[in-house]
Amino acid sequence: MELTAKNKSFSNKEWQLFQYVLNQQAEVCSMSIRELADATETSSTTVLRFCRKFDCEGFSEFKIKLKKTLQKQGKTDRLFKKDKKALHYFFERMDESFYRETLFTIAKRISKAKLLILASDRESTLALTYAQQKFARLDKIVSVEEEATLIKSVWQTLSSEATLLVFSNKGADPFLESLITECTTAGISTISLTNRSTTSIAKLSEQNFAYYYSDNQEADSLSSQIPAIYLVELLFDLVTDCEDR
């Protein structure tokens, strides 16, 4: 049940009820119809009329739906708090010199590349798309791994000046692992952005940046891609700075 006044025609007394219920939802769930009527200076009849406007036969059904609404809201609030806490720790770590030095090393490698190959697993496609649009502003060839024919046609001539940048929150994907191995064999520099440094993709890459976002986040959730998108922004600024020097 959505506790909203939208599309509702409330009388003055019903507005009193609505404001009270909205601000005292938990308390209302444990009240009787008479207690609610007394607390809002209305009547049991007004309460019943109010409940019917939320498609409830009576006050008991209204309270059941209100409890379910509160449970869903509590779950959403917990998810927001979890995301906020995880992001807070992530941004705190970005201020540490080790992380900034690692990013600067990666940025210098990207700045020297004439060909930048971008790849990701299915769960990190949002970060991949953002990186493709951002790095396309650089004075270099930027391509995604789906364009395999185009990429491989220039590997032989640009292998020593090419870099593969992989996005993988989970850090494990057979296709990406194979791609990293193939690029390494061809002499192409490989970089990965992963959630952990102990994953197979992190270990296979020549250079890895592990952002250590919350383990409780689903790999394909939007919040899990925020660190990678933020890192793309930082890398773009650092690469631009390197090329301006």
How are strands ordered across the β-sheet holding 115-120? 141-144, 115-120, 162-168, 189-194, 207-210
Integer Cα distance of 232 and 129 in angstroms: 11
Model confidence at 217, pLDDT cuts 50, 70, 90, reads: very low
- pLDDT for the residue numbered 174: 93
Mean pLDDT of 179-188: 89
CA distance 171 to 36: 54
The pLDDT, as a whole number, for residue 48 is: 93
Q: With H, G, I as helix, E, B as strand and everything else as coil, classify residue 144.
A: strand
Please answer whether residues 175 and 124 qualify as being in contact, where contact means their C-beta atoms are separated by less than 8 angstroms: no
CB contact burial 27-55 (16+ within 10 A = b; e otherwise):
ebeebebeebbeebebeeebbbbbbebbe
**Total Cβ atoms within 10 A of residue 189:** 22
pLDDT beyond 60 at 215:
no
Residues β-bridged to residue 116: 142, 163
pLDDT > 70 fraction of the chain, expressed in percent and rounded: 84
3-state SS string over 170-197? CCCCHHHHHHHHHHHHCCCEEEEEECCC
Q: How much is the pLDDT for 226?
A: 84
